[in-house]
Structure 1
């Protein structure tokens, strides 16, 4: 089952509009306290980005490496 969009965006709000190392760690920590189905649902909602775009970010989130 996919994560509801409202739940997905609530997690994304943890970033406060910036993908800093600190905010990405907070974002990675939150789903780790949830059931595996929520983690999978969150991952399914994440947009797929090209490797080149990911490498340009100054502080990539843990799942982008």
Structure 2
């Protein structure tokens, strides 16, 4: 796994843990949810860019 994939897995687990905590405690902490969700979106975009670079590199090698 690449560093981006590892960070993405960590961010997803953090988001799941945060969602579980908010449901159990009844607290709504939107101020924490938004940055965690934004981090997940950013990591997803970076992963898509990484995939495109890998695909382009493989095509140019052929």
TM-score category of the 2 structures, normalised to the smaller one: 0.3 to 0.5
| Superposition TM-score, scaled by structure 2 size | 0.33
| Superposition TM-score, scaled by structure 1 size | 0.32
Instruction: Report the structure number with the largest CA radius of gyration.
Output: 2
